[in-house]
Structure formats: structure tokens, C-alpha cells
Amino acid sequence: MAIIEVEDVWKSFTNDGKTVDVLRGISFEVKKGETLCILGGSGGGKSTLLKVMIGAHPATRGKVKIDGTDIVGLSERDMNKVRRKFGVLFQSGALLNSMTVGQNVGLPIGFHTKQAAETIDIMVKVKLEQVGLLHAKDRLPAEISGGMQKRAGLARAIALDPKIVFYDEPSAGLDPIATAVIDELINDLKTKMGMTNVVVTHVMESVRRIADKVVMLDKGKVILYGTLDDLLNSTDPKIVNFVNGHIEAAQTDDESYQRFVNDLLI
Ligand SMILES: Nc1ncnc2c1ncn2[C@@H]1O[C@H](COP(=O)(O)OP(=O)(O)OP(=O)(O)O)[C@@H](O)[C@H]1O
Ligand SMILES: [Mg+2]
């Protein structure tokens, strides 16, 4: 069953009277319990697509159905209900520096539920254990490594047992070992918890480890939508180039995305 359906999505930005179509008719679906990787060179529209899928940017045209609900044009109130169905792991991990790792993970639980402090503490411990960070519960984000910060961000993203987890470049800034740890956690969420993962990445080793399906974007269009094998067996020069690792590095996130991140963290 498809838990995410993206149907003919367009996204245009207008600056100084000039309109740019960044996404131009994107369609694909993600089945429940599947990991889909969104791939492509820098500027292809990956982050924009992810932002449209989590409701941080409204689509200009088309449908984005999350667990059956089209989020395009949804009221803020209804969107908040849909937000409970997914978690997001942001590039930086996006932890609040003044709070301990445990308090960061407990934040969405306290915000969205009426659980007692002791119950929240138990839930936090379970999530930290799941990402191998129980020992760091009382540390501050600044006191742990980048890889551990990402894992803490993941623990927070899954704090309310979402059906779907979205990731934007989860291994940005990490070394190969920390990257492999994150990939293993992404696979665990799928196989042990039945979660659905949508991962924007340009790290081909990660794609080989985690992807069931892939969507490759180029200039705002899908140039490949298929299985990992379809990607590896493609003879399209652009795709072969990507598979061989010849791609430009990702750029940093924009301001509106940062605002959305802050909103989610209240
Ligand atoms: N808010 C915006 N206003 C105008 N143009 C934008 C905006 N956000 C993104 N774009 C443009 O959309 C295009 C796609 O950007 P996007 O960040 O989605 O690419 P990407 O595939 O994630 O790239 P990267 O690999 O560098 O992260 C770029 O040309 C970018 O300049
Ligand atoms: Mg990006």
C-alpha cells in the first residue's frame, strides 16, 4: 500500500517578477515499510521536494498525499494532525544547545502528549537506547560528537513513533563510520519497526545500503524512478555519473526551511 503519493507536483518560486519552476511535474509513490532515496546533482530540486513533502513549502500544483491525506492547501490545524504521522531528521540534527540530549528527545513528547514527567523519561530512555545513546542522556549537545548529535536528532524524530521519517542529507558532515551507523539505524527502523523512510542523499554507499526504491531528479524532473537495481543497471550517462560518485556537493539550507525547523522544535 502506498503511504506517500506524489502526483504531478510543481513548485515555482517568483523573485523580482521572475518565475523559476524548480519542480516540474514530479510523480512517484512510497510503499509502507520501504526506504526511498531521493537523488540527484546539486540544484536538482531534492531539498525543495522534501520541503514540499513535509509541508514546509506549499506545492504550486499537484498533490502530496501522506497516509491518504492531500497536504497541499491543508489548514494549519489539519496539517498539525498529519505532522504527528512523520518525523524529520534535519541536516544539523537541530538540537537545542541549552538542553541535555534527553531533554531534547523529550521535547516533542511533552509538546504533543499529556504524559507525566516520569512516563516521558521512560519514553526518552527507550528512544535513546534504540539509537545507542542512553549513556549520553544527561550530556549537552556540544559535549558529544557530530555522529552522536545526528543520532540524538533521530531519537527525537522517532520519539512519537511516526509512520514515516524524512531525512535531508543525514550523513552530511559525518565520516564513513558515523555514516554507516546512521544507515544501520535507518535500516533498523524499517525492519524492526516497519517505518517508511524517505532519504535525500548524494552518498552512493548509503544508497547501496539503504535504498529499496530511488527517485533521481535532474533540473526539477524525475529522470529515474525504480529499484536500486534499476539505478545500478542504468546506462543513462547522467545516472552512471552519479552512481560512480561524480557529483557536486550539496548546498546549505535556506532561511524558510530554518524557520520551519524552529517551528517544529517549539
Ligand atoms: N526559496 C527559493 N527561492 C528561489 N529559488 C529557490 C528557493 N529554494 C530553492 N531554489 C532554487 O531551486 C533549485 C533547487 O534547489 P534545491 O535546494 O531543492 O536543490 P538540491 O537538489 O537540494 O541541491 P543540493 O544538492 O545543493 O542540496 C535551485 O536552483 C535553487 O536555487
Ligand atoms: Mg539540498
- Residue 48 in contact with residue 24, Cβ under 8 Å? no
Which pLDDT belongs to residue 266? 45
Output the residue whose Cα is nearest ligand 1's atom 6: 13
Angle formed at CA 252 by CA 66 and CA 245, multiple of 5 degrees: 85
Distance CA 100, CA 109 (A): 15
The rounded Å distance from CA 45 to ligand 1 centre is 5
Output the residue whose Cα is nearest ligand 1's atom 12: 22
The rounded Å distance from CA 252 to ligand 2 centre is 7
DSSP assignment, residue 55?
Answer: T
Indicate the range of 30-34, 169-173, 249-253, 258-262 predicted with least confidence: 249-253
102's grid cell:
534527553
The rounded Å distance from CA 252 to ligand 1 centre is 9
Distance CA 105, CA 120 (A): 9
pTM confidence score:
0.91
Angle formed at CA 157 by CA 53 and CA 49, multiple of 5 degrees: 15
Mean per-residue pLDDT, 30-56: 94
pLDDT (tens digit per residue) in 71-125? 999 998 999 889 989 999 977 667 888 999 999 999 888 888 888 889 999 999 9
- Residue 256 in contact with residue 11, Cβ under 8 Å? no
Mean per-residue pLDDT, 220-231: 97
211's grid cell:
535504498
Comparing CA positions, the residue from 100, 64, 60 lying closest to residue 79 is 64
83's grid cell:
505532522
Mean per-residue pLDDT, 215-243: 95
Which pLDDT belongs to residue 251? 52
Ligand 1 atom with minimal separation from the 41 CA: 25
Ligand 1 atom with minimal separation from the 47 CA: 22
Which pLDDT belongs to residue 18? 92
User: What are the respective helix, strand and coil percentages of the chain, to the nearest 5?
Assistant: 40, 25, 35
Q: Is 248 exposed, middle or buried (0-12, 13-18, 19+ CB in 10 A)?
A: exposed
Which stretch of DSSP H or E encloses residue 89?
strand 86-89
Per-residue confidence band for 260, with pLDDT thresholds at 50, 70 and 90: low
Task: Check if 250 has its Cβ closer than 6 Å to any atom of ligand 1.
Answer: yes
Per-residue confidence band for 247, with pLDDT thresholds at 50, 70 and 90: low
3-class DSSP state of 60: coil
pLDDT (tens digit per residue) in 167-207? 999 988 888 999 999 999 999 999 999 999 999 998 899 99
Q: Which ligand is nearest to the CA of 248?
A: 1
Judged against a pLDDT cut of 90, whether residue 22 lies above it is answered with yes
Which pLDDT belongs to residue 128? 95
Angle formed at CA 259 by CA 40 and CA 131, multiple of 5 degrees: 65
- Residue 211 in contact with residue 35, Cβ under 8 Å? yes
List the end-to-end C-alpha distance of the chain, in Å, as a whole number.
Answer: 33
The rounded Å distance from CA 42 to ligand 2 centre is 7
Ligand 1 atom with minimal separation from the 48 CA: 18
> What would be the CATH architecture of the domain defined by 2-85+166-176+195-265?
3-Layer(aba) Sandwich (3.40)
149's grid cell:
548529535
Angle subtended by helix axes 146-157 and 101-112, to nearest 10: 20
Helices (H) and strands (E) in the chain, counts: 10, 10
**Summary mean pLDDT of the chain:** 90
Distance CA 39, CA 243 (A): 10
Mean per-residue pLDDT, 155-177: 92
Task: Check if 215 has its Cβ closer than 6 Å to any atom of ligand 1.
Answer: no
3-class DSSP state of 85: coil
Residue spans of alpha helices (H) in 113-236: 117-130, 146-157, 176-193, 204-210, 228-233
Higher model confidence: residue 37 or residue 77? 37
Task: Check if 13 has its Cβ closer than 6 Å to any atom of ligand 1.
Answer: yes
Sequence spans of domains, the chain: 2-85+166-176+195-265
